[in-house]
Chains A and B, each alone.
Chain A
C-alpha cells in the first residue's frame, strides 16, 4: 500500500508538469512583469530539478502543507478542512445504509428465486444501477422540493448544529448516493447466495432439521458474505466519486464541489490535494476490507498460521 501511495503521489505531482502553459501565469495572470515572474518562479522552486521538487512537495504534504490555491490565494489545507469531513461523512453514511439494505434485498431475491418478487428486485436493481446519479437527484428534488415542498433542496448542516435540519437536508442526498450501492450489493448478494445455496453444507443444515431462518441467515448468508465484503473498499471509492455529483446537485459544500470549481479554473494544488486525499481514503478502505476479510472468513487466518 505504501508503494501504491508513492506511485499515486508521484502521478499527482506530475499533473503540474503536464499542464500546458506556465504555472506562474496560471497563478498570477498574463499581465505580470518579468521581475515578478522570476521571483515567483524561484519562490515556487520551479528552477530546481524535478525529483528535488517532488521530494520537497512530498515533505510538505506529509506535514499537511498542500501549497497555496491559485484561485483563492489561501492554503489548500484551510480550504479542505471544513469540506473533506462532509464528503467522508456522506460516503460512509451512504455505505452503512446501502450495505444492510442491499444484503436484505439480495437475500429476499435469492430465497424466492424465479418468483415474482425476485423478478421485481432484480429488474429494479438492474435499472437503478444504470440511472445517472445526478438525474435521480434532480428527479427527487423535483418531486419533494418543487412539487411537494417537503424537503429543502440544498445545503448541509452538521447534526450538532441543528439536528432536525440536518436530517431533512440529508434525506435526499443520502437516498441519491446509496441507491446505486443498494442495487449493486443486492445483485452481488443474490448471485453469491445462489452460489452457496447449492452447497452441500446447506443441504446438511436443512436435513438436520434446522429452521429456515437459521439455514438462510447463518449457514448460507455467512458464507456468501465473503465476496461482498471483499468489494466493500471498491464500494466506498464509488461512494466518494458519487458524492461529487450529489454535492453538486444539492449544493453541499463538500470536497466534490470544491474539486469541480478547481478544475474549471485550473487550480492545480487543490486538484492535487483532492486526488491524493480520495486515494488515501480508498487505500484506507482497502486495508480495512482486508482486516474485515479475516473476520468474515476465518480460514484466511488459519492458512497464514500454518
Chain B
C-alpha cells in the first residue's frame, strides 16, 4: 500500500516537472493565478460598484479617481473589469464541467453498450456537430434566455459532441483489453466496470481536452455577450464591455480595447497551460508545437 502511494506521488511530481519545464508555461500559470486571485478579491479591491452609474463623471479619461476612466454611463472601468473576470472564469469552468460530465457519459455509454445506443448517440452527435457551435449556442439562448448560469450550461451543451466522440474512441480502445475482461469475469457490474476500470484509463485525454477547452469557452462567452445574447446588461462581462466600447470608439477607444486585451491574455495563458498539460500527459506529442 505504501509502495503504491509512493508511485502515485512520483507520477504527480513527474507530471509537474514535465509541465513546468518550459518557462512560458510558468509565466502563463502565474498570469492565470493572478487573474483568479483578482476575481476572488474583486468585491474587496474594486474601488467602485461595477453597476453604479454616475452621471456627473461620464466617459472620463483615466485619472487618479478612476484609474482606467469611466464608461458612457459613468461606471468605473477598472471595477467592471475586475467583476468581469469573475463572470469569465465562472462560465468557463462550469461550462467545461457540464460538457465533460455529459459528454463523457454519452461517449462511454455509446462505446460500452454499442448497438442501438451507439447509433442513436453518435448520430445525434453528428447532427449537433453540423451546426456551428456559436449558432447552436445562440439558438439555445433564444429559448432558455441569457444570464450567467444559463450561458454556462448552454456553452457546455454546445461543446458536448467533442467530448462524446473523444470518450467513445478512448473507451473503445480500452474495453477489449484483458484487465477489463478479467474484471468482468470477476462478476463486476457494468457500472462498476465503467467507472472503476475503464474511466481511470481514459482520464488523461479527458483532462487534456478540458484544460484546452476552458480558454475557448471563455472566448465563446465573450463572443455571445458581445453580440448581446449572452450575459444580460447590468452584469459586467468583458464581452459586453467590448461591445459598449465599440459604440464610443471615436471618443474613447481604450474602453473597447482594454477588455478585449484582457480576454486575449486570459485565453492565451489558459491555452498555453492546456498545451503544457498535454505535453506532460501525452509524451508522444511533446515538442510538436
Residues A286 and B135 in contact, CB atoms below 8 Å apart: no
Whether, in the assembled complex, B93 has its beta carbon less than 8 Å from a beta carbon of chain A, the answer is no
A237 within 8 A of B: yes
User: Are A275 and B127 interface neighbours, CB within 8 A?
Assistant: no
Q: Are A4 and B142 in contact (CB under 8 A)?
A: no
Closest to A271 in B: B142
Bound: A139/B139 CA distance, A: 28
B134 contacts partner chain A, Cβ-Cβ < 8 Å: yes
A217 at the interface (CB under 8 A from B): no
Please measure, in the bound complex, the distance between the C-alpha atom of A263 and the C-alpha atom of B222, giving whole angstroms: 17
B143 adjacent to A19 (CB under 8 Å)? yes
Chain B residues with CB below 8 A from A244, complex form: 134-135, 138, 227
B residues in contact with A11, CB < 8 Å = 127
Contact A263 B226 (CB under 8 A): no
Q: Is B199 an interface residue (CB 8 A)?
A: no
Q: Is there contact, CB below 8 Å, between A132 and B288?
A: no
Which of A34-42, A56-64, A164-172, A276-284 makes up part of the contact surface?
A276-284
Residues of A within 8 A of B130 (CB): 4-5, 8, 237, 279, 282-283, 286
Query: Of A97-105, A122-130, A297-305, which stretch is located at the interface?
Result: A122-130
Query: Interface on B for A, CB 8 Å cutoff?
Result: 123-124, 126-127, 130-136, 138-139, 141-144, 215, 219, 222-223, 226-229, 239, 242-243, 245-246, 249-250, 253, 256-257, 260-261, 263-264, 267-268, 271-272, 288-289
Q: Is the CB of B135 within 8 A of A130?
A: no
Chain A 169-206 near chain B by CB (<8 Å), digits 1 or 0: 00000000000000000010011001000000000000
Closest to A191 in B: B288
Which residue on B lies nearest to A91, using beta carbons?
B132
Find out whether the CB atom of A266 lies under 8 angstroms from the CB atom of B142. yes
| CB contact between A134 and one of B223, B250, B261 (< 8 Å): that residue | B223
Residue A31, interface by CB 8 Å: no
In the complex, given contacts A7-B127, A126-B268, what are 4 additional A-B residue pairs having Cβ atoms less than 8 angstroms apart? A19-B143, A237-B130, A244-B135, A259-B135
Chain B facing A: main interface SS: helix
Contacts of B229 in A (CB 8 A): 260, 263-264
Chain A residues with CB under 8 Å of B134's CB are: 241-242, 244-245
Checking B132, B139, B219, B256 against A138 with a beta-carbon cut-off of 8 angstroms, the contacting residue is: B256
Please report which residues of chain A, range 216-247, place their CB below 8 angstroms from some CB of chain B when the two chains form the complex.
237-238, 240-242, 244-245
Report Cα–Cα, A264/B33, bound state, in Å. Answer: 35
* Residue from the list A3, A134, A146, A241 in contact with B253, Cβ < 8 A: A146
Complex CA gap A133/B134 in Å reads 13
The answer for the CA separation of A18 and B144 in the assembled complex, in Å, is 8
A152 to chain B, nearest CB (A): 14
Instruction: Write out the residue numbers on chain B whose beta carbons fall within 8 Å of the beta carbon of A130.
Output: 215, 219, 264, 267-268, 271
Give the shortest distance, in Å, between B48 (CB) and chain A (any CB): 24
- Are B227 and A187 closer than 8 Å at their CB atoms? no
Question: What separation, in Å, do the CA atoms of A245 and B143 have in the docked complex?
Answer: 20
A135 touches B135 (CB 8 A): no
Contact between chains at B264 and A132 (CB < 8 Å): yes
Min CB distance B289 to A, Å, is 6
- 30 interchain pairs (CB within 8 A)? A5-B130, A11-B127, A15-B142, A15-B143, A126-B268, A126-B271, A127-B264, A130-B268, A132-B242, A132-B263, A135-B242, A135-B261, A138-B245, A138-B249, A138-B257, A139-B260, A191-B289, A240-B135, A241-B133, A244-B134, A244-B138, A245-B134, A260-B138, A263-B141, A263-B142, A263-B229, A264-B228, A271-B138, A275-B139, A278-B132
Kindly state whether residue A268 has any CB partner on chain B within 8 Å: yes
A238-B132, A248-B227 given; A135·B142 CB < 8 A: no
Provide the residues of chain A in CB contact with B249, threshold 8 Å.
138, 141-142, 146
Within 8 Å CB of B139, what residues of A?
12, 15, 263, 271, 274-275
Interface hub of B124, B138, B222 (most chain A Cβ within 10 A) = B138
